[in-house]
Amino acid sequence: MASKSLPFDVPTIVQGYAQGYFLMADESGALDWYSSRQRTLIPLDEQFRYPRSLQRVLNQERFTVAVNRDFTAVVEGCADRETTWISPQLKEIYQALHVAGWAHSFETWQGDRLAGGILGIVIGGAFIGESMFFRIPDGSKVALVKLVERLRSRQFVFFDAQMMNPHLERFGAFIIKQKEYRVLLNQALQRQCNLA
C-alpha cells in the first residue's frame, strides 16, 4: 500500500476517492491516504450469492431497509470494535462527506431499532463500501443483499468492498487488480447514480 499526503477539504477528499485512494487511520490514529494493488468487489450480477439460511430470513421480512435514516449511528456502529481504522477524525470526515451528499448509510431496522448498516461513499456509478456492522443477527447480511439489489436497479457500475475477508467471500466477492479497478472506476465516473 502506498500513501500520499492528506488534505481535509471535501472536494479534495472526493477527488482522492475518484482517483482510487481511500482513507484509513493507523493504530496511533494518524489518518492517511492508501492505495492497494488489488481491490475486492461485490458482484452486482448473477455471481452474487448468499447462504440458503439467509434466504429464509429474507422471506420472513424481519427487517426494513432505509438510506441515511441514522447516518451517525451507522458510523458509530462501524467504529465500535476492538481494533478500528475509523478514528475520531475520520468520523468527522464522513459526517462532512454525508452533509455534502457523498457519504451514505444503508441500514436495516427492526421496528425502531437499528439492526445493521453499511457505510459507503457514492461517486458517480461507484459505491465504495467503507465498513459494515450489525447489532441484531443477520442485520448486516440482509443490508448487504438489499444494497446489492438497490445498486443493481440503479445501474451502478460496481460495489467496492476494498479488502477481502471470509464473510464477503461467501457472497461471491472477488479480487481484481488495480489496473482493472481504475478502468471500472473511470466508467463509473461517467455515470450519475442515486442511492436514495
Task: Write out pLDDT tens, residues 40-74.
Answer: 999 999 999 998 899 999 999 999 999 999 999 99
Strands 64-67 and 113-123: unpaired
d(CA 110, CA 101) in angstroms, rounded, equals 26
pLDDT above 70 for 30: yes
Average pLDDT, the chain: 93
Q: Taking residues 6-26, report their average pLDDT.
A: 89
Q: Sorting pLDDT into bands at 50, 70 and 90, what band is 20?
A: very high
| pLDDT of 7 | 58
Higher-confidence position of 121 and 163:
121
Nine-digit cell at 73? 449511528
CATH 3.40.630.70 fits 10-189, yes or no: yes
- Are 117 and 77 within 8 A, CB to CB? yes
d(CA 112, CA 126) in angstroms, rounded, equals 30
- pLDDT tens-digit readout, 86-114: 999 999 999 999 999 999 999 999 999 99
Residue 113: C-alpha distances to residues 40, 104, 136 (Å) = 30, 19, 9
Residue 15's nearest CA partner among 3, 33, 1, 31 is 33
Residue 21: C-alpha distances to residues 13, 49, 107 (Å) = 9, 28, 25
